[in-house]
Amino acid sequence: MPLLEQLTTHSRQSTATVAVGTYLVAALAWLALVLHDPLEHALVGHSVLGSHGGPGVAETTAVADGTLGVVHYLLMWGLMMVAMMYPSTAAAFQWYADRQRRRPDAGPATAVLAFVASYTLLWVAVGVAPLAVVALVPLGTVAAALGPAYLGVALLAVGGFQLSPVKRRSLRACRSPAGFLPPGTEDRRPASLGWQFGRQDVAACGVLMALMVVVGSMNLGWMALITVVLSLERLTDHGERWARWTGYVAVGSGVGLLALAAL
């Protein structure tokens, strides 16, 4: 059963407080991201993360600013992950809360917080990867040298992944949270389960997040587009079909950009 249908069924039976809270946190994260650059420009005269800069600008700036820059980058990356991932994960968090509530030894609030915190921490840790990539590859230089072909190659990679068996397997686990719990793991600690669920999410969505780095981290337009794609994939009846169509569009766009670069 798709996550959206699970959440709708639950809401007819009781108040989906965890899901509502998750959506509220996601909305606050979006508000913070929208206000971040104007506020930072007003306070210090420039954006530490270079949010509206090109490929690799945010990561290069963060590394150049030392430890504080890296910490700031990871905090903003975490905020970005909350804004993008929480809307399509709210029903999964609610599913876990309901599961805990039915346990005789349950401490649902503490367990849910540990599950969500572990899930979120994994996505924050993923932010180390872009810093490492940009330290090895000057994305801005590569983008300037390749022109439209730069984004074209990136979109072909995204499209290929969206159409791959790996994407289908990972997406099925994200769409049905109970499916990521193998027999005998039901009693594992909430933090361990949250980390495991996060790993499924990274496997299913990591390539889409990598696209954020390719086009320039913290680009609100791309963030909104990818958030919509994630929600369609994970919450609707035809999620796998949406993933395939996203793949077709990405491949077609990539081929078009490569053709344009060749002219």
Kindly tell me if the per-residue pLDDT of 188 is higher than 50: yes
Report how far residue 91's alpha carbon sits from residue 110's, in angstroms, rounded to the nearest whole number.
Answer: 18
Could you read off the pLDDT of 20-41 as tens digits, one per residue? 999 999 999 999 988 876 544 4
E-strand ranges in 174-218 read: none
Report how far residue 104's alpha carbon sits from residue 53's, in angstroms, rounded to the nearest whole number.
Answer: 52
**pLDDT number for residue 46:** 41
Contact 33, 47 (CB under 8 A): no
**pLDDT number for residue 196:** 87
Residue 107's pLDDT band, with cuts at 50, 70 and 90, is: low
Q: Where are the domains of the chain?
A: 3-262
Q: What is the mean pLDDT of residues 171-182?
A: 72
Instruction: Using a pLDDT cut of 90, give the percent of the chain over it.
Output: 39
Could you read off the pLDDT of 109-139 as tens digits, one per residue? 888 899 999 999 999 999 999 999 888 888 8
**pLDDT number for residue 60:** 85
